[in-house]
Homo-oligomer: A and B are copies of this chain.
Amino acid sequence: MSSTAVRPVERKTVFTIERILGLDGKEQSTVPVKPHRPWIDACSNLVGSESQFTQETKCKQDSCDRPASDSYKRTLNWYIGRRPRTAFTGAQIEILESIFQINSYPGIDLREELAKRLELEEDRIQIWFQNRRAKLKRSHRESQFLMVKRAFSNLHDQAGH
């Protein structure tokens, strides 16, 4: 496919098998790595331990691909037992937000303190601040984009008349 053929018409890209399977580009080097799941211990050590991962991994990732040729990799060992999503209460969010206004990079001691106060694990706090910073960054990027766009519109308007 990649070889140059003497064709008058260059065909558009086609649904190749590789592409549909998400295999185009590279081959899978799927070494199943056991992810870090500390909270699983409590609830699932009764079942046959050998089938737990082989089965699950397979059924979720038998179609999982390698880094696609022109973009990102979704070649992660697909989440086997993902931590149950934490639902923060309104009061917790309120506190976290107010801290965030003052310090968006709380050190370990402040995080521990918060964890104690809010009755959350320190890990949840850390993740929350990470995601919160990402959100802030997104919003900044977006408003910047809008401002640039608007500036261009204004230029156009002025030039047009």
Is the CB–CB distance between A107 and B65 below 8 Å? yes
A58 within 8 A of B: no
Is the CB–CB distance between B108 and A21 below 8 Å? no
- Nearest chain B CB to A127 CB, angstrom units: 15
Is the CB–CB distance between B33 and A108 below 8 Å? no
- CA gap between A41 and B103 in the complex, in Å: 31
A123 within 8 A of B: no
- CA gap between A97 and B29 in the complex, in Å: 11
A30 within 8 A of B: yes
Is the CB–CB distance between B15 and A113 below 8 Å? yes
A89 within 8 A of B: no
- A37 — nearest CB in chain B belongs to which residue? B142
CB within 8 Å of B: which of A83-120? Answer: 94-95, 97-99, 101-110, 113-114, 117
Is the CB–CB distance between B109 and A24 below 8 Å? yes
User: Given A45-B149, A70-B108, A107-B65: A36 and B102 within 8 A (CB)?
Assistant: no
Number of copies: 2
Give the residues in chain B near A28, CB-CB below 8 Å.
97-98, 101
- CA gap between A28 and B20 in the complex, in Å: 49
> Which of A106, A107, A139 lies at the interface centre, i.e. has the most chain B CB atoms within 10 A of its CB?
A107
24 contacts between A and B (CB under 8 A): A13-B113, A15-B103, A17-B114, A17-B117, A20-B98, A20-B99, A20-B106, A21-B95, A21-B117, A24-B109, A25-B94, A28-B101, A33-B136, A34-B142, A45-B150, A65-B103, A68-B107, A68-B109, A70-B108, A70-B109, A71-B109, A72-B108, A74-B105, A74-B107
